[in-house]
Chains A and B, each alone.
Chain A
């Protein structure tokens, strides 16, 4: 009997010791990422990218000793499942959230505030959420649609020799709220710069644009075209510009019309030669972080995933993941090694300065007031089978965008 009780106590002690030993310090990041549904063309690349970056950080020992518990859920771009998944990740203790999609961002914004969990919406979401005062827990972290529109005009101005007087610019946009969003900025700039602006709404899904492109190129004769399209429509547009004989070096695609997949769907690089794309994360393979991820796969004697070939979208995934990791790192440092709360991670986001990840991430300056980090973009041009960098990181009309953000109150 005595023996038995000894065994019981010993094994109980072992259990306790064992659980204390295996209890790795963990911090949870919740991600919503759609590998299915209408935006899967982006999701199948961006989701593995985020996962790869988290794996890389974990393989290097995590963030300041904390292992990342990265939880990815798919909501098929529907809002009710996004709410359900948010509640689940909140319940599991997520300290930050990667949102996926504009309607989802709008639906979760109020909840993020109530629960004090910071969320990111890189390249989509609400332009006015650059204002950290009004949207304390929402971080666009990348250039919003307003900044993108302003940067596009800046680029065209530089291209046409510093003046836009009397130039004709066509703004071709997907007819949904995201497509409409840059319009007020473009109209403001039109008054300031004195160019002519005409907008062309493309009804979703935009897979038939022949007549419209003829209207734009043969009747309107714009000096420059800004494409703000999504899904399949950017590739259709490129194809039609080519067919109409309009030079693609006079077309600029905003961020969701600018991936390698769009070029390939349009018929390949020779079709799209000269096409300009606007990027909020660096495109291409020449970044140390991508080599590290490849090395990680090599160390596991595996091939790097195919998703890596779509460098534009993949690198955006890295940006999104890296910003979260950096924010949590800042938060853990601020708490002196304690596990951070959502509110502390929010402060961590607001301390991200000069974090460039070898040039892949723009020189973000996220502050308590500016959750966009400046609205930096780069322009890349399709040339000889890849995207070639045309400009360095720049911001277009930051004062005009800032005024619009202020006016949105």
Chain B
């Protein structure tokens, strides 16, 4: 990650495909893991850990959406609804069967995968903006169903209280405990996605994205792989929904409305389509940017405005700044933050002998 190779010495396909091209890459990843798993939760205050928690949940969802949009080239504006499918599946399992988290998390994911695969069927016939509308319809249908079927929603409030997960008898209550819980799933999602895109399935996804007719001619079943992409992507979304449910202690469909789908699309577009690191960057960026802009305005706004005016100005200016920064970053690098990061790396790889 932070290393600079002196040349290309790869002699086999295995070496070319390795996740860690050099031992130092492995150490760098281990050091980062140590930083995030041990040092940060021990040193940061509860508030900062709670921000990291939200980022971790967003990472899982962004990775899932990126498999569909970035790697397979299909589009979905229904991911918020897939999250709610996972959330309500888990919540019902918890309150009716008292299921532990290691049952509810995969169950929520699988249920979302099933629904996602069904919603993905139109993708076999329609593409691009038309598919976006089809998935938008799915978002609205799922929202409506949850809102009107008490067997799913648990009553007119459409919300189900869920106790925090227990791990070997201890209930995970503090932000730090929940952080480690969420971290485990985020790491699984990151490893899972990095390996998925190197596998036969991942290469098929990329082939479908780049030119689906060509992919079909070389023997890739479009039908199968498009549905796989929807299913896997929705699985991640379902897991995200379950994690939200555990983190907040409640499943509520108003947490998974269309703006959530749009937020996640924003994450992967800003972060970089078709890259694991890009999804992570996007999740961090979209979660942190409003917080940072507010912090910035609170720190320096007092120099210009009075305190009462500031209460009115901050939320509005924050929206403008948020939109402006997104445009700025996309203009600077249309391929997202991941490309920006690669450009920086490539620059330093040959530095100071760039010519």
Contact = CB atoms under 8 A, between A and B. Distances in A.
Nearest to A92: B47
Interface string A57-85: 00000000000000011101011110110
B312 A111 contact: no
A31 to B, nearest CB: 9
Nearest to B158: A177
Interface string B26-53: 0000000000000000000111001100
A76 B248 CA distance: 18
Interface stretch (B64-72, B92-100, B250-258): B250-258
A184 B156 contact: yes
Contact of B311 (A72, A107, A111, A114): A72
Contacts of B164: 110
Contacts of A84: 50-51, 54, 291
Given A83-B50, A177-B159, A36 B250 contact: no
B314 interface: yes
Given A51-B308, A177-B147, A183-B156, A36 B287 contact: no
Given A47-B311, A74-B315, A114-B173, A181 B156 contact: yes
Contact of A106 (B54, B57, B250): B250
Contact of A126 (B157, B255, B314): B157
Contact of A36 (B248, B255, B308, B316): B316
Interface string B290-327: 11001000000000000010011011101100000000
Given A72-B311, A80-B58, A177-B158, 11 more contacts: A51-B308, A51-B311, A79-B252, A87-B51, A91-B46, A106-B250, A107-B252, A109-B250, A114-B173, A176-B254, A183-B156
B194 interface: no
A35 interface: yes
A103 interface: yes
5 contacts: A76-B315, A78-B259, A79-B248, A110-B250, A180-B158
Contacts of A111: 249
A80 B252 CA distance: 13
Nearest to A80: B54
B255 A79 contact: yes
A107 B255 contact: yes
B173 A87 contact: no
A79 B315 CA distance: 16
A102 interface: yes
B155 to A, nearest CB: 9
B156 A88 contact: no
A341 B216 CA distance: 67
Interface string B141-160: 00000010000000011110
A72 B161 CA distance: 27
B248 A83 contact: yes
B175 interface: yes
Contact of B250 (A35, A76, A107): A107
Contact of A103 (B254, B287, B308): B254
B159 A106 contact: yes
A131 B240 CA distance: 32
A73 B291 CA distance: 11
A177 B252 CA distance: 10
Given A51-B311, A91-B47, A176 B147 contact: yes
A122 interface: no
Contact of B175 (A80, A87, A177): A87
Interface residues of B, number: 38
**Quick one: which of B311, B312, B316 has the most chain A CB within 10 A?**
B311
Nearest to B317: A36
A47 B310 CA distance: 12
A344 to B, nearest CB: 21
Interface in A85-141: 87-88, 90-91, 102-103, 106-107, 109-111, 114, 126
A84 B312 CA distance: 20
B315 A180 contact: no
A103 B46 CA distance: 23
A36 B46 CA distance: 27
Nearest to A31: B311
Given A103-B252, A180-B156, A87 B50 contact: yes
A206 interface: no
A114 B174 CA distance: 9
A223 interface: no
A175 interface: yes
A319 B204 CA distance: 61
A177 B51 contact: no
B47 A110 contact: no
B248 A55 contact: no
Contacts of A103: 159, 252, 254-255
**Quick one: which of B147, B157, B318, B319 has the most chain A CB within 10 A?**
B157
Closest 6 CB pairs of A and B: A74-B315, A110-B249, A103-B254, A87-B50, A180-B156, A91-B47
A251 to B, nearest CB: 23
B39 to A, nearest CB: 20
B308 to A, nearest CB: 6
A253 interface: no
A158 to B, nearest CB: 27
B251 to A, nearest CB: 9
A47 B259 CA distance: 24
A81 B290 contact: yes
A80 B55 CA distance: 10
A274 interface: no
Given A107-B255, A183-B156, A80 B287 contact: yes
Given A36-B315, A87-B46, A180-B156, A110 B161 contact: yes
A374 to B, nearest CB: 22
B54 A83 contact: yes
Interface string B249-276: 1101111000100000000000000000
B266 to A, nearest CB: 13
A102 B254 contact: yes
Interface in B268-290: 287, 290
A55 B312 CA distance: 15
Interface string A219-246: 0000000000000000000000000000
A91 B45 contact: yes
B237 to A, nearest CB: 15
A77 B262 CA distance: 15
A81 B248 CA distance: 12
Contacts of B58: 80
